[in-house]
Amino acid sequence: MEDADVLQHIERLVGEEDALYAHAADGHGMDGEQQRRLGEVQVHLDQCWDLLRQRQARREYGLDPDEAAQRSAGTVEGYTG
């Protein structure tokens, strides 16, 4: 996956996240399924940003960016600083 592909995926996820928030802001709130999906989208966004940062770091240090891999949700969500 190229950087542009990751960025396009991020844009789609942000669009979905925005749509969920807009629906809730229109006075509809969020049902359990929408809250679950919002959480999934947010985790997947974190994973995509992490993958993009990995690719950029590998490139910066002369390594193959294509060897970067998406990390698990537990790994990405467990970052502490």
Mean pLDDT of 27-48: 95
Per-residue pLDDT for 81 more than 90? no
What is the pLDDT of the chain when averaged over all its residues? 95
Mean pLDDT of 33-48: 97
pLDDT above 90: percentage of residues in the chain: 89
Look at 50 and 81; give whichever has higher pLDDT: 50
**Model confidence band, residue 3 (pLDDT cutoffs 50, 70, 90):** very high
User: What are the extents of the domains in the chain?
Assistant: 3-77
Q: Which two tokens stand for residue 16?
A: 């979905």
Mean pLDDT of 23-41: 94
**Would you give the end-to-end CA distance of the chain in angstroms?**
27
* Cβ-contact 65, 55 below 8 angstroms: yes
Query: What pTM, to 2 d.p., does this model score?
Result: 0.90
The residue to which tokens 């974190």 are assigned: 46
